[in-house]
Structure 1
Amino acid sequence: MPEPRLTARFWVDAYLARLRLYDIPAFVTAHGDDTAGAVLVKLATLDGKATAFTRSFDLMTGARHWAELANGPEPEVDASIAKQRSFDPDLWVIEVEDKHGRHLLGDVGLSD
């Protein structure tokens, strides 16, 4: 029996709460579909650079993980995100701002 999936909105709310526990500022910059929208996380390191992460799914194992979509100067990462949004209007975009590069996506409960 397949494992039940969390709604996008529930995951986003939990992620933002986890970031607040570590005093890491984060903002919803694009509100996607509450139920089935995909989530993209942009990490801005406040030095003009950024990385965008998206969920990846391994068809062989069924495992999910966060993969790097784009990395580099923030305007280039923003352009990549805009391109993704043009393909998927249901996409959530969360912007995390942390000069130390913390995004917590590898933490238990967020990584799977």
Structure 2
Amino acid sequence: MRLKSAIFVSALLRRAQVEGAYAMVVRRGAEEAGAIFVKVNALDGTAALYGPALQGIFDEETSGQRIFSPLLPPGSPEADVEARLAREIRFDPDIHIVEIEDRQGRHFLDLAED
């Protein structure tokens, strides 16, 4: 069973803050099962964007976990990240968006293996 989106978002915020990064909810989505997107702002005009990994990569070990994939890599122009988020909102208005401000570019997520 997968953790509710709202609980996962709260835990991510706390994890980032404990590590010294500033994190905030930019958009609240469906509390139970809304998709979660994470923007990592490097505070230099660049950012990265992470979103839900494709369901096909899950195996028994990762079943039920929230695994993310990079959608736009670190160093992408912040405007490109914002444009992608706007498209995601048009596609599904129930998404959560978390922004982490961290000069080191840390995302605090479990990423899918390449």
Q: TM-score range, shorter-chain basis?
A: 0.7 to 0.9
Give 1:60 deviation, angstroms. 5.9
Aligned twin of 1:67: 69
SS of corresponding position for 2:17: helix
Cα distance in 2 for residues equivalent to 1:38 and 1:74: 21
Aligned length: 105
Q: 1:47 aligns with which of 38, 41, 44?
A: 44
TM-score by length of 1: 0.85
| Structure 1 residue 61 displacement after superposition | 4.0
Q: Give me the whole-angstrom Cα distance separating, in 1, the residues matched to 2:71 and 2:107.
A: 15
- The residue number in structure 1 matching 2:22 is 25
Structure of higher RCO (CA pairs closer than 8 Å, 6+ residues apart): 2
Give % identity.
34
What TM-score results when the alignment is normalised by the length of structure 2? Answer: 0.84
Question: Distance in 2 between the 1:69 and 1:60 partners?
Answer: 15
Structure 1: segments with no counterpart, 5+ residues:
none
RMSD: 1.7
- Deviation, 1:89, is 0.5
